[in-house]
Amino acid sequence: MDKKEPVMEMTRRQFLTKVGKIGGTAAVFSMMGTLGLLSPETLKAAEFTPPNQGDLTSAHRKGKKVIILGAGIAGMTAAYELGLAGYDCTILEARPRSGGRIWTVRRGTAETEIGGIKQVARFDEGETMYLNAGPMRIPQFHSTMEYCRKFGVAIEPFNNVNEHGYYYNENVGALSGQKVRKRAAKADVRGYVAEMLAKAVNQNALDLPLTPDEKLKLVDYLKREGDLSADLFYKGSERGGYIEEPGGKLDAGVRRDPFDMKSIITSGFGIFFASEYSYDQQMMMFHPVGGIDAIPRAFEKRVGHMIEFNSEVKEIRQNDSGVRIVYTNAKTGATQELTGEYCICTIPLSVLKSIPADFSKEMADAIGKVNYASAGKIGLQFKRRFWEEDEQIYGGSSLTNMDITQMYYPPTGYFGKKGVLLGYYVTGANADKIGSMPVADRENYALSQAAKIHPQVYREFEASFSVHWKNIKYNVGAWGSYSAEERKTIYPTLCKPDGRIYLCGEHISYIPAWMAGGIDSARKVVTEIHERVMKE
Amino acid sequence: MDKKEPVMEMTRRQFLTKVGKIGGTAAVFSMMGTLGLLSPETLKAAEFTPPNQGDLTSAHRKGKKVIILGAGIAGMTAAYELGLAGYDCTILEARPRSGGRIWTVRRGTAETEIGGIKQVARFDEGETMYLNAGPMRIPQFHSTMEYCRKFGVAIEPFNNVNEHGYYYNENVGALSGQKVRKRAAKADVRGYVAEMLAKAVNQNALDLPLTPDEKLKLVDYLKREGDLSADLFYKGSERGGYIEEPGGKLDAGVRRDPFDMKSIITSGFGIFFASEYSYDQQMMMFHPVGGIDAIPRAFEKRVGHMIEFNSEVKEIRQNDSGVRIVYTNAKTGATQELTGEYCICTIPLSVLKSIPADFSKEMADAIGKVNYASAGKIGLQFKRRFWEEDEQIYGGSSLTNMDITQMYYPPTGYFGKKGVLLGYYVTGANADKIGSMPVADRENYALSQAAKIHPQVYREFEASFSVHWKNIKYNVGAWGSYSAEERKTIYPTLCKPDGRIYLCGEHISYIPAWMAGGIDSARKVVTEIHERVMKE
């Protein structure tokens, strides 16, 4: 590798694959570092080296049977990657469909929740008339994007940031019950805060370890950050929007007056800002065109022949030589068995803990201890996209301290006639509170709170579909949730293979709830199983 | 209107139109206020009431001929709205195409700049292989969106904010020559600034007019804004990204270390933040699928029969009874005349000032005084979308203090093989400097600076097309630019009709450079002419 030319004639992938064959993953890393082109995110993505398709000799291949429990994204990723390497995989999936929580509700989608609540979605037909009941967005650096790319899943931006959305809080002083455009709250809070600090720095009121020149630079930044006047006052800003918009001829526009400092501080709007700052909530984000289930559909196209649907796992057995899964056909009730060498179990721990299984005591204890988050969503179909027509809001969210917490305007189908708005996306106690209501009450609750922000809702509402994940069979919860302490105690146990069984899924990752958590977890398991097989 | 029911049975548009017929625009406004549903942006949009189609009687219609100079968006908006009301409009357009600065460069697009530089775009064929040489994005609340909606122009988000893009500055101390993800700079600057202020507030070091409870709320906000520790220190944040990404199993991720405070303050990255805060740069923004010229194409579909292309205006004459326009066919050289009652002149003032015309001295002086901004862009076609593949950047920009100022990654065609990246979008002195270079030098200059952020550019580059608006015939500049003083002195003159001639375009608005400036200006002129005709 002492000459660069041959490298440049290969594609990056060809090149890295070649290096990997010669020197293994470590060499790939080192070489990528040398090239200096690649970001940590790429390194992360490249960290997974699929099993070499030539590794499995015919001797190996005989009997390298892997039973995968669950045709969600983790199970299908494992099946896809192992399948490419020549493994004989079977996926047992309890439902008649793949995807698990990656679930798009459309016209005709039927679901009966634990507890008996039954719904059939009455949304109109149409490519954009859906509710993504589980995950709905992809950070651009997640491994999910790799498979979308590889499988040709068309994506479009998910409008996670929209300054034209509202903040609306109750019982917060002077601004209670006022819907305020996000831009207005941000301009005012940033303005006042910049003013306070700029003045303090300028007057040397703070004991800062800065040189005079650095202080000048800091004040210059604060002036821009807060849109301050030359004498360092925040007097409102065009950033906060207008009472009368600027436009043609003599329409110079009339800026809104800023809220007074006490009101805006007391409003609590400021603590909403940081939700957009989180690493995995920052723009740009994406989602598949036509519904999030385009992703499991793309996987299923490649691994569908390995899936046995309607197969509900009843027992998970193992000994020194193999695994044995007892399952029933959910439709016929017939009991069957399947044996193999290894088992990848992606069943949510909230469900798995009740399935008889040959886990070590340590593993069984750990499985029993993991908390699952509660989360719920409601899709509200409106016969008119009033948020676009009346209020020029194209995607994004409005946030509130009411129980519904947040509403998301559809990030697709702009200018369409109708739309399905995400009326709430609630977690924790709010999710349990709303989720415990009958369907009609959930709908009324969502509409009554939404109406405070958008009085149009009653006039325009047509149909809803709500999901309470704690009550969804085969999930019984939204995602695996760990305290920092649990990451040290029970989590490492869950990550270790237990005999021939490997746990897998978003709950076996440091990015729980995300599709990429399932993918990254599966890739780890694929590598572990393959390395084990190669050593045998 | 003492009952609400009938209102609810009409659509909003039907209702407002009805109110408008009864009581005029003032009544519409008042009623919309009463309904309380509509935002200032909607009020703005609704402010324009198109001429009633029944207004023009046959007596009126006879001879109500309006000559419109320029088939850009202002001219076509005027023709469209006046045409609907029965006016007889002719648009004289110097170019063989409509749209003016709303111009999408694709394979085969040819342009000879003033000075002789000739280019033919060699971009590949393909829906996403274009450079929007002029405007490229639409704030969601602009009137441009209304026409996109009305004309069925498909839009998609324009990724104006992307935390995964870079800041790159030279000669700024310790961070010189380092490309830094935007998220990292934001996390650090916000972190340190929040820390400074939180500590000061907590220690009562500032004389703030806040109650203890308000101070607590302020500190709580600052903790979240800066991701501070319990003892109010900024120690880095996941918001800034990772050296090793979190993922499956035991990949907890390794956060990047924050830059030290002095380095990040001196870097100047902080002053980039505010570019995303501007009212008209905030998310969400949009653009037409397939190129910005979908907008003029949609207008042309409706007013194309009124346009005489290749018609270069040579003289603009008027007297008490009408206007007379002398123009030549740019292809044949033949001189022709056209007479009418009114003229709407959308010709950029940088061009208009050299056309013999019967303007009042006051108007002619004002026209001569308006400065036009300099701006330039270059489209760079790459054979691989390395920004997506290697660096997971899907749209958005990277900003720098190098002359190229900013690069924009294509906000369309994600996952495609090739892409056209906006290599620079420069204004002012930078635009003049780069624009004065031969085409090959512009290209080299763009690549050499881009290479500091993306070393891949040389290996992947295929073709460029650059535009220097000061050298584009029929434009001679990018947009009308006014000082605050000029808005008070010359601008009001430009807004008044001069006899029978009405100036119109983005330069006759308070939102210059924007397509909506042209639209809003045209709507004002339409209303003024119609009111004048109705009074005759």
A508-533 tens-digit pLDDT: 999 999 999 999 999 999 999 999 99
Considering only the beta carbons, identify the residue of A217, A243, A248 that sits closest to B521.
A248
Where in chain B are the domains?
Answer: 5-98+305-371+480-535, 104-164+282-292+374-471, 178-268
* Interchain contact, A277 vs B186, CB within 8 Å: yes
Of residues B111, B104, B169, the one with CA closest to residue B404:
B169
DSSP A259: P
Res A21 pLDDT > 90: no
Cβ burial, residue B3 (10 Å; 0-12/13-18/19+): exposed
Q: Looking at CA atoms only, how far is residue B174 from chain A in angstroms? A: 13
Res B3 pLDDT > 80: no
Give the torsion through C-alpha atoms of B196, B198, B201, B206, to 10 deg.
20
Interface test with B, best of A148, A214, A277 (most B CBs within 10 A): A277
**Cβ B42 vs Cβ A390: under 8 Å:** yes
**Chain A contact set for B221 (CB, 8 A):** 189, 193, 265, 270-271
* Interchain contact, B390 vs A12, CB within 8 Å: yes
The per-residue pLDDT for B59 is 65
Q: What crossing angle do the helices spanning A294-303 and A143-151 adopt, rounded to 10°?
A: 60
The per-residue pLDDT for B33 is 46
Give the model's confidence band at B22: pLDDT under 50 very low, under 70 low, under 90 confident, else very high.
very low
Token pair listed for B85? 């009301």
CATH assignment of A104-164+282-292+374-471, given 3.90.660.10, 3.60.20.10, 3.30.1380.10, 3.30.450.40? 3.90.660.10
B66-76 pLDDT, tens digit per residue, is 999 999 999 99
**Closest chain B residue to A166, measured at CA:** B39
For A316, phi then psi, to 5°, come to -125, 110
For tokens 């400097």, name the residue: B433
Q: Going along B428-522, which residue ranges are E strands?
A: 461-468, 480-481, 501-503
B362-402 pLDDT, tens digit per residue, is 999 999 999 999 999 999 999 999 999 999 999 999 999 99
**Cβ A236 vs Cβ A253: under 8 Å:** no
How far from A484 is each of A372, A488, A521, B231, CA to CA, in Å? 15, 7, 19, 19
> Can you tell me the distance from the alpha carbon of B455 to that of B461, in angstroms, rounded to the nearest whole number?
11
Res A298 pLDDT > 80: yes
How far from A333 is each of A22, A326, A408, CA to CA, in Å? 52, 12, 41
DSSP B248: B
Give the helix, strand, coil percentages of chain A, each rounded to 5. 40, 20, 40
Considering only the beta carbons, identify the residue of B200, B244, B390 that sits closest to A206.
B200
**Chain A contact set for B411 (CB, 8 A):** 157
The per-residue pLDDT for B56 is 85
How would you label A380-400 residue by residue, b for 16+ Cβ within 10 Å and e otherwise? bbbebbbbbbbbbbbbbbbbb
Class of domain A178-268: mainly alpha
**Cβ A201 vs Cβ A220: under 8 Å:** no
Checking DSSP bridges between strand B406-409 and strand B480-481, what pairing results, if any?
unpaired
Residues 6+ apart with CB under 8 A from B35: B7
**Closest chain B residue to A460, measured at CA:** B8
> Can you tell me the distance from the alpha carbon of B103 to that of B292, in angstroms, rounded to the nearest whole number?
7
The per-residue pLDDT for A39 is 58
Q: Looking at CA atoms only, how far is residue B30 from chain A in angstroms? A: 14
Query: Mean of the pLDDT values across residues B121-139?
Result: 98
Give the model's confidence band at A331: pLDDT under 50 very low, under 70 low, under 90 confident, else very high.
confident
* Interchain contact, A395 vs B284, CB within 8 Å: yes
Of residues A144, A49, A48, A66, the one with CA closest to residue A345:
A66
The per-residue pLDDT for A57 is 78
For A251, phi then psi, to 5°, come to -75, 85
The per-residue pLDDT for B26 is 45
B481-527 pLDDT, tens digit per residue, is 999 999 999 999 999 999 999 999 999 999 999 999 999 999 999 99
The per-residue pLDDT for A45 is 54
Res A99 pLDDT > 80: yes
Query: Of A524 and B58, which is predicted with more confidence?
Result: A524
The per-residue pLDDT for B103 is 98
Identity of the residue numbered A423 = G
Identity of the residue numbered A533 = V
Name B495's bridge partners.
none
* Interchain contact, B277 vs A190, CB within 8 Å: yes
The per-residue pLDDT for B45 is 54
**Chain B contact set for A278 (CB, 8 A):** 238-239
**Closest chain B residue to A197, measured at CA:** B197
The per-residue pLDDT for B53 is 82
For B280, phi then psi, to 5°, come to -95, 10
Q: How many CB atoms lie within 10 A of CB A336?
A: 14
Its ipTM equals: 0.92
Query: Mean of the pLDDT values across residues A100-107?
Result: 98
How would you label A10-41 residue by residue, b for 16+ Cβ within 10 Å and e otherwise? eebeebbbbbbeeeeeebbbebbeebebbbbb
* Interchain contact, A155 vs B414, CB within 8 Å: yes
The per-residue pLDDT for B402 is 98
Give the torsion through C-alpha atoms of A342, B244, A26, A526, to 10 deg.
10
**Cβ B80 vs Cβ B104: under 8 Å:** no
**Closest chain B residue to A457, measured at CA:** B37
**Chain B contact set for A525 (CB, 8 A):** 248-249
**Chain B contact set for A240 (CB, 8 A):** 279
A399-424 pLDDT, tens digit per residue, is 999 999 999 999 999 999 999 999 99
**Cβ B521 vs Cβ B508: under 8 Å:** yes
**Cβ B314 vs Cβ B326: under 8 Å:** yes
The per-residue pLDDT for A43 is 53
Give the torsion through C-alpha atoms of A406, A407, A408, A414, to 10 deg.
-160
A337-368 pLDDT, tens digit per residue, is 999 999 999 999 999 999 999 999 999 999 99
The per-residue pLDDT for B24 is 46
> Can you tell me the distance from the alpha carbon of A160 to that of A284, in angstroms, rounded to the nearest whole number?
8
DSSP A432: H
B453-464 pLDDT, tens digit per residue, is 999 999 999 999
**Cβ B476 vs Cβ B348: under 8 Å:** yes
**Peptide bond before A284: cis, by omega within 30 degrees of 0?**
yes
Query: Mean of the pLDDT values across residues B218-240?
Result: 98
Give the model's confidence band at B54: pLDDT under 50 very low, under 70 low, under 90 confident, else very high.
confident
How far from A186 is each of A173, A182, A276, A340, B277, CA to CA, in Å? 18, 6, 12, 58, 9
Q: Looking at CA atoms only, how far is residue B457 from chain A in angstroms? A: 11
pLDDT above 90 covers what percent of chain B?
86
The per-residue pLDDT for A35 is 47
Average per-residue pLDDT for chain B: 92
Query: Mean of the pLDDT values across residues B125-136?
Result: 98
Least confident of A31-40, B150-159, B212-221, B420-429: A31-40
| Domain over A5-98+305-371+480-535 is classified CATH 3.50.50.60 | yes
